Structure 1
Amino acid sequence: MRLPDDVPVRLVLADDEPLLRRGLRVLLEADGRVEVVGEAADGAGLLDAVRRHRPDVALVDVQMPGMDGLSALRALLAWTSPPAVAVLTTFDLDDYVTTALELGAQGFLLKDAEPDALVRAVLDLAAGGAVLDPRITARLLPKLRGAGRLRDNPHLNSLSARERQVLALIANGQSNSTIAAELGLSEATVKSYVSTVLTKLGVENRVQAALVAHQVGGTW
């Protein structure tokens, strides 16, 4: 998905702390590129807000009363046309992050991220990118390896030079449109490359592909 430059990204924000929601709303809407069209204090409220407002992106806290963020994420990503979903988390919730990764979340952001980084993350998600806060990646990779959930990927060597370029840009959170501009390709061609990369690596989404790339640290 690619929105016109003059159309703000429509966002639903779900967190059970009203002050945090208010603060994030002010930060995200400050320069006019993001519009918070709905808020929710729990998972059920999130699903209702997404149904009513049809946002481009949803930012979801994982720990909420009643229906928690993971349950809402599981339900939301089963819909035919869900928004891009990023998980809002803190450093002490690694287990929730790994579960959200398996469910198919497209982004993982820390609640104390810099305002510019949050806005850029929302814009990248709306454009189809995958977003991983570097601090989450640094904590998540050892945990996934230790739990046996992330192993050396034997298929990296099967990627062509161009596919490796595409993977490197996916790992940086770039959307198809940005990759196309960077490599001088059409978006349709980039979409095909991305699909091939995911298939060759045996992963389900861009975030998992990004983790594979970060695991080897560019040594491929």
Structure 2
Amino acid sequence: MRLPDHVPVRLVLADDEALLRRGLKVLLEADGRVEVVAEAADGAGLLEVVRRHHPDVALVDVQMPGVDGLVALRELLTWPDPPALAVLTTFDLDDYVATALDLGAQGFLLKDAEPDALVRAVLDLAAGGAVLDPRITARLLPRLRAVRTRGNPLLDGLSARERQVLALVAHGRPNSAIAAELGLSEATVKSYVSTVLTKLGVENRVQAALVAHQVDAW
């Protein structure tokens, strides 16, 4: 997904803490690039507001009463055209985060992230990027069982250009930004990303980014 620069990203917030939602809404909307179109206090509410508002991005707390965020993520990821989905988490919820990774969430953010970082993450998600708070990366790495802790022969199978693409994916760049940086078309970048995922044996950009971070290739 790529939005015109003047169109704000339409965002849904799902968290059971009303004060947190209100604070995030104020911070995220401050410069006009993000519009919070709806809020939800649990997973059932999230499914309803996504169905009603068709947002570009949803930030989801994984631990909520009733229908939790993981149940909602699992459901949303079966929909034909779901929003970009990122998990809002804290350090003490590793199991929830790991499950969200397995489900295919596109981003992992800590609730105490700096406002500028949150805004940039939402914009990158809307553009098709993957976002990982650096403080949570180390906690996700053990879940990628296909990756060896000493070296990674899978990386040896990547061409020089594919390694460049992976490096930019690992830094959360969407296809449009990768294309601009490498002087390629977005279609070509999309093809490279698909090839990289296949060669690494991973399912999505977040997992590819974790491969790159684990082997400390960049």
Asked if residue 62 in structure 1 is aligned to residue 58 in structure 2, the reply is no
- Tell me, in whole angstroms, the C-alpha distance in 2 between the residues paired with 1:13 and 1:126: 14
Q: Report the secondary structure of 1:139's partner residue.
A: helix
Q: Which runs of 5+ in 2 are unaligned?
A: none
Q: Deviations over 1:19-73 (max 9, x none)?
A: 0000000000000000000100000000000000000000000010100000000
Structure-to-structure mapping, 1:130-141, within 5 angstroms: 130-141=130-141
How far has the Cα of 1:92 moved from its partner?
0.6
Size of the aligned set, in residue pairs, is 215
Q: Deviations over 1:69-115 (max 9, x none)?
A: 00000000110110000000001111111100000000000000000
Q: Deviations over 1:103-128 (max 9, x none)?
A: 00000000000000000000000000
- Tell me, in whole angstroms, the C-alpha distance in 2 between the residues paired with 1:160 and 1:101: 27
Partner of 2:31: 31
Structure-to-structure mapping, 1:7-156, within 5 angstroms: 7-141=7-141, 143-144=142-143, 149-152=145-148, 153-156=152-155
Cα RMSD after superposing both structures: 1.0
- Tell me, in whole angstroms, the C-alpha distance in 2 between the residues paired with 1:104 and 1:80: 14
TM-score by length of 2: 0.96
- Tell me, in whole angstroms, the C-alpha distance in 2 between the residues paired with 1:66 and 1:217: 40
Partner of 2:193: 194
TM-score by length of 1: 0.96
Partner of 2:215: 216
Q: Percent identity?
A: 85
Partner of 1:204: 203
